[in-house]
Structure 1
Amino acid sequence: MRKPQAPPGSPENADATEAAFYDALQSGDIEKLMACWSDEDDIVCVHPGGARLLGLAAIRGAFDTMFANGAIRAQPLKVRRLQSLGASMHSLLERIEVLTEDGPRHAYVVATNVYHLTAQGWRMVAHHASPGTLPELQEASQTPFTLH
């Protein structure tokens, strides 16, 4: 398997890698998308309702299949970041535009993206997405929850 090339602009932070990832989704560019991923064997990707994909070949294959139907109109929203020296975890909503017979419709996906600082810069090591529901979109975490 060919190693990913550096994303455009050699991202100096996880935010730049995330922007390159979503740009590649929207343009349907598999090379740019895969350049955002680390070349480690244990990277992981889970699409809504899908299997756990491990490694570059499995992840690339899934995105190749998705891009065969066109680009993915996904826009990151409400990004929350937790960063340490060499890792950054982003929790966000993805607003997905779906074209229907009645025109464009929007769906929401709750996603977690994890990035590691590698010798090549910040690279994605995990992407996990699940269908969003109304309570998740309302960000219920703002209210303290007690269990007793």
Structure 2
Amino acid sequence: MPRHKAKLHAAMGGTPDDVEAAFYEALQAGDIEKLMACWADEDDIVCIHPGGPRIIGAGAIRAAFDALFAHGGAIHVQAEHIRRVDSMASAVHHVLEKVEVMTADGPAQAHVLATNVYHKTPQGWRLVVHHASPGTPGDVTETQHPPQVLH
């Protein structure tokens, strides 16, 4: 492992929350090295951007984020309303992301629902899935009741 990557891995800490914080900090900074250090070193890691295809593997995920960063550098995103399901070797975080996007009328906020899945690896906790879908401002409201229509 290159020295700078090992340093990034060591700096992330030891919990899924630490990795999640590092992931969103990397997005906000447009830092591809820090962002990729959050991901597990596995062939079958997956990322799905809102409305996009399933991206599999570190090389493809890196290329996708490189392309996003090339169109404006940092991604102004805040993770809010995080719900967690944690176990000894895996963690699933459901997140409402508020993303600043540029429109013809200037900056606006978009809402994204994301699920981040973490596994405990020999290198510590790492991201194995980031699945994001378009959301709405109403998604801030949570419900404990099943919906009337499932799909």
When normalised by structure 1's length, the TM-score is 0.89
In 2, the alpha carbon distance for the partners of 1:111 and 1:55 equals 19
Change (3 A) 1:68 1:8: farther
The residue identity in structure 2 corresponding to 1:110 is: L
SS of equivalent to 1:142: coil
Offset of residue 98 of structure 1: 1.3
Could you tell me whether the CA contact under 8 Å between 1:114 and 1:124 is conserved in 2?
A: yes
Equivalence for 1:127 = 130
Q: Is the 8 A contact 1:8 1:20 kept in 2?
A: no
Tell me which residue corresponds to 1:115. Answer: 118
Query: Does the alignment pair 1:71 with 2:74?
Result: yes
C-alpha distance in 2, partners of 1:58/1:124?
15
Contact 1:10 1:121 in 2 (8 A): no
Instruction: Say which of 24, 27, 30 aligns to 2:29.
Output: 27
Q: Secondary structure at the match of 1:32?
A: helix
C-alpha spacing 1:144/1:59, structure 2 compared with 1 (3 Å): closer
Quote the residue 1:39 is aligned against.
41
Give the ranges of 4+ consecutive aligned residues of structure 1 lying more than 4 Å apart after TM superposition: 144-147
Alignment gaps of 5+ in structure 2: none
* Partner of residue 15, structure 2: 13
Of the three residues 92, 95, 98, the one matched with 1:92 is: 95
Q: Distance in 1 between matches of 2:117 and 2:20?
A: 10
Q: 2:64 aligns with which of 55, 62, 65?
A: 62
Cα 1:125–1:101 shift into 2, 3 Å: same
Query: Partners of 1:145 and 1:24 in 2: how far apart?
Result: 35
Unmatched 5+ stretches in structure 1: none
Instruction: Tell me how far apart the structure 1 counterparts of residues 128 and 29 of structure 2 sit (CA, whole Å).
Output: 21
Work out the number of aligned pairs and report it: 144
Identity of aligned residues (%): 56
Distance 1:130 1:85 in 2: 27
Pairing 1:136–2:139 present: yes
Cα distance between partner residues in 2 of 1:7 and 1:80: 25
Q: 1:96 and 1:8, CA in 2 relative to 1: closer, same or farther beyond 3 A?
A: farther
